[in-house]
Each structure stands twice: as structure tokens, then as C-alpha cells.
């Protein structure tokens, strides 16, 4: 029986994969699911809620879905944000997720940190339970 891969499943997968990244070669970088505050630990990655769209279903169960994922990289300096984004790319590419967009780095006046937002896309195939590139 085909089991649907949900946005929660995708969020959990992203959290598990991205939480393992050691951007400073010493300790794992914090991953969060809500916008960082002045109390947050930096550097950190914000995993926004994945967006999905069903392309094909069978017996009301999605068997082909596209996912769009947005990750925010927060740090004290711009270069660190860029390095974090590159590290995110390397991890997500292993699951066939490719970066589709990069926004300009912004400075957040509240946290006094920089933020780089990157977007990724991937197609999930329920028949093979695998991720494929979106063509």
C-alpha cells in the first residue's frame, strides 16, 4: 500500500538532515522551526513549512508530489550565511533537492543578525518512495 509523504514528513526529514551540519567544524548548527528571536542560539537554520502540490493520485492517495522548501540561514556575518547555504546545498543535493532561488542577504534589526534565504525543489514519487529532480 502506498503511503502519503506529508509536509510534516518532509519537515521532519529536513530537520533531521540539516541538524547534523557542523558549519564551524566544532558543533552542530542549531535548526529551528520558528523565526529566531534575540534569545535564539546563532548561527541557526530556520526550516520554513514545506509547500506541496499533488501532481497525481491513486484512490485519493497522492503518488506524485512537488515540494518547495525555503531555508533561512542566520548568522553574525554575511560570509557565514553564504557558507551555511553552501553546506545546506551539499546535504539537500544528496536527496535530489536543488536550489532554485537565493534572495539577497538582509540584516535583521531585532536580532542584529544577517539572514540569507534559499529555496529548493524536489519531486516525491510515492510508487518508488524516492525523491527525483524536477525537470
Place of cell 521532519: 12
If you average pLDDT over every residue of the chain, what do you get?
94
Rounded Cα distance, 73 and 82, in Å:
8
Q: What is the 3-state secondary structure (H, E, C) of 13-32?
A: HHHHHHCCCCCCCCCCCEEE
Residue 26: pLDDT above 80?
A: no
Range list of β-strands (E), 48-97? 51-58, 61-75
For the chain, list the domains and their CATH numbers: 7-132 (3.30.70)
Binned at pLDDT 50, 70 and 90, residue 1 comes out as low
Cβ–Cβ under 8 Å, residues 58 and 2? yes
Report pLDDT for 82.
97
For 42-80, what is each residue's pLDDT tens digit?
Answer: 999 999 999 999 999 988 889 999 999 999 999 999 999
Residue 81: pLDDT above 90?
A: yes
For 92-133, what is each residue's pLDDT tens digit?
Answer: 999 999 999 999 999 999 999 999 999 999 999 999 999 998
Q: Which run of H or E residues covers position 88?
A: helix 78-93
Rounded Cα distance, 82 and 105, in Å:
9
Amino acid at each position: 500500500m502506498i503511503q502519503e509523504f506529508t509536509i510534516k514528513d518532509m519537515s521532519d526529514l529536513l530537520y533531521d538532515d540539516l541538524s547534523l551540519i557542523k558549519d564551524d567544524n566544532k558543533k552542530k548548527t542549531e535548526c529551528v522551526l520558528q523565526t529566531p528571536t534575540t534569545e535564539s542560539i546563532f548561527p541557526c537554520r530556520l526550516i520554513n513549512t514545506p509547500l506541496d502540490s499533488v501532481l497525481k493520485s491513486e484512490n485519493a492517495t497522492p503518488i506524485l508530489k512537488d515540494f518547495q522548501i525555503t531555508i533561512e540561514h542566520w548568522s553574525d556575518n554575511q560570509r557565514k550565511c553564504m557558507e551555511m547555504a553552501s553546506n545546506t546545498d551539499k546535504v539537500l543535493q544528496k536527496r535530489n533537492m536543488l536550489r532554485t532561488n537565493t534572495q539577497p542577504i538582509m540584516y535583521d534589526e531585532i536580532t542584529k543578525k544577517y539572514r540569507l534565504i534559499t529555496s529548493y525543489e524536489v519531486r516525491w514519487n510515492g510508487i518508488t518512495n524516492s525523491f527525483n529532480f524536477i525537470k
